[in-house]
A and B are shown apart, each in its own frame.
Chain A
Amino acid sequence: MINLKEATDDVLLKRAAKGDEEAFTVVYRRHQAAIYRFALRMTGSPWAAEEIVQDVFMTLVRDPKKYNAQLGTISAFLYGVARNRILKHRERLPREVALEVKDEDGSGPGLVLKDTLTPAIWAEKRERTAQIRAAVLELPEEFREAVVLCELQELSYEEAAAAAGCPIGTIRSRLHRGRALLLAKLEIFREAPRRVSATG
């Protein structure tokens, strides 16, 4: 009898493709948090992140053969599907009106805090992160993706490149420009870095 929790993703996916619900659940539980956080940080909306996670894993349910172990890890595959869903979400964003709670100043959708802190600490944390959150969300798509994958998801360049489906050099240069834009938006670095174009 195989121990599902210790089985590799490939083994679990093969079992899931044959109708093993428990195997699918183990795969889901193993990867859903990272995908959810990625979607949450990319969209800034818990509602959108939830929908994206559901779409991503629905792809595995409906067509498990879409994932080819020869082409990369399941994690990279899931990030890739999530990226597409995030892009679609961004495309239809102007047509949607979020019904969730807004920030205190009424701007932008609010993020859900991990823990239930005291109101004072909660408010302080919110205030401290409001600027960086807005700055990250305002970054152009590809730069935001690089910043989120490397600085928030803490992936290595290789992992980020696999997730974004591009070469490592591209991730490195996107991150470079993303950092410059972020610093400009945060107005931390008054003297803008030389030779870095801060568009957007």
Chain B
Amino acid sequence: MNCEEFALAGLGAEHDSEYSAAQEAAAREHLAVCAHCAALAESWDAALSKLRLLADITSVDGAPARVEMRLRQEFRTRNRIMKTRRAAVIAAWGLAAAAVLVGAVSWTNWRARQVVTKQDAAGAVANAKSASGSDATSMGNDSAANNLVADNLLAENGENEFTALPGAIYSGSDDAEIVRVRMQRSSLGTLGFPVNEDSAAEWIQVDLLVGNDGLPQAVRVAE
């Protein structure tokens, strides 16, 4: 062992778990022959005793009790905030789940109602077949009547752009059915509307709003 190795490993060897018995013997041998390192070791022992004294007077029990008090207070506050935040998150998720559930139920109900409405409308179309058949006869055109039956289409159940027929009692579309029919423009004249003679022979499609009594209440020209 040389001086440098001794200074590096020989001093404070008690902290070094890797310091072996062989190293210790080598250090002892070196101390016996090196006056410089012997003086260094002696000096370090003197410094160490002072360090021990400093360690002794500063080996206090720990931080003042107020530190623990402050930390516990902070811990409680943080914990309360965390609990509140967790509750808020759970509540938000719960509300979102409830909204989704309500939406799903509403959609299902709406779909079910749509199916029922379509079935009702199909029944109304069947009724309209007989009514439109008589209209076609009055127009004296069998092929047109056939087309009318074929073209009887169920329009959307809306009352936009409907014009009330003169003399009819228009009570709104709540209880009425919409029936699409094909007719000559001149037929609008029979319903009380003015017709341009130049286009009187033109075939058009109109939506008739038919009331519960089977009489048309309003009309609109289909697109």
Question: A residues engaging B (CB < 8 A)?
Answer: 16, 19, 21, 24-25, 28-29, 32-33, 35-37, 40-41, 49-50, 53-54, 57-58, 61-62, 111-114, 125, 128-129, 131-133, 136, 147, 150-152, 154-158, 160, 168, 172-173, 175-176, 179-180, 182-183, 186, 188-189, 191, 193-196
With A131-B50, A194-B36 given, is the CB distance from A54 to B63 under 8 Å? yes
A64 to B50 CA separation, bound complex (whole angstroms): 39
Let me know if B17 and A157 touch, CB within 8 A.
Answer: yes
Q: What residue in chain A is nearest B16 (Cβ atoms)?
A: A157
A176 to B13 CA separation, bound complex (whole angstroms): 11
Q: Is B204 an interface residue (CB 8 A)?
A: no
Given A33-B63, A152-B51, 14 more pairs with CB closer than 8 A: A24-B71, A24-B75, A61-B74, A111-B57, A114-B60, A129-B53, A150-B15, A152-B54, A152-B58, A157-B16, A175-B15, A183-B43, A195-B4, A196-B7
- Which residues of chain B (4-37) have a CB below 8 Å from chain A? 4, 7-9, 11-12, 15-18, 36
Q: Is the interface of B mostly helix, strand, loop or mixed?
A: helix
A34 to B172 CA separation, bound complex (whole angstroms): 88
19 sampled A-B residue pairs with Cβ under 8 A? A16-B75, A24-B71, A24-B75, A25-B72, A37-B62, A54-B70, A58-B71, A62-B78, A111-B57, A132-B54, A172-B16, A179-B44, A186-B50, A188-B46, A189-B39, A189-B40, A193-B40, A194-B4, A195-B7
User: Which B residues touch A186, using CB under 8 A?
Assistant: 47, 50
User: Which B residues touch A50, using CB under 8 A?
Assistant: 63-64, 67
Interface size in chain B (residues, C-beta < 8 A): 45
Question: B residues engaging A (CB < 8 A)?
Answer: 3-4, 7-9, 11-12, 15-18, 36, 39-40, 43-44, 46-48, 50-51, 53-64, 67-68, 70-72, 74-76, 78-79, 82-83
Pick the residue among B47, B54, B67 that contacts A133 (CB under 8 A). B54
Let me know if B74 and A132 touch, CB within 8 A.
Answer: no
Let me know if B55 and A195 touch, CB within 8 A.
Answer: no
Pick the residue among B53, B58, B67, B71 that contacts A61 (CB under 8 A). B71
Let me know if A132 and B50 touch, CB within 8 A.
Answer: yes
Kindly provide the distance from the CB of A129 to the nearest chain B CB, expressed in whole angstroms: 5
Q: What residue in chain B is nearest A155 (Cβ atoms)?
A: B15
Pick the residue among A54, A154, A160 that contacts B55 (CB under 8 A). A154
A195 to B4 CA separation, bound complex (whole angstroms): 7
Let me know if B63 and A53 touch, CB within 8 A.
Answer: yes
Which 9 pairs of residues, A with B, have the shortest CB-CB distance? A33-B62, A189-B43, A132-B50, A53-B63, A36-B63, A19-B79, A152-B55, A188-B43, A151-B51
A64 to B33 CA separation, bound complex (whole angstroms): 55
A21 to B72 CA separation, bound complex (whole angstroms): 7
Let me know if B58 and A40 touch, CB within 8 A.
Answer: yes
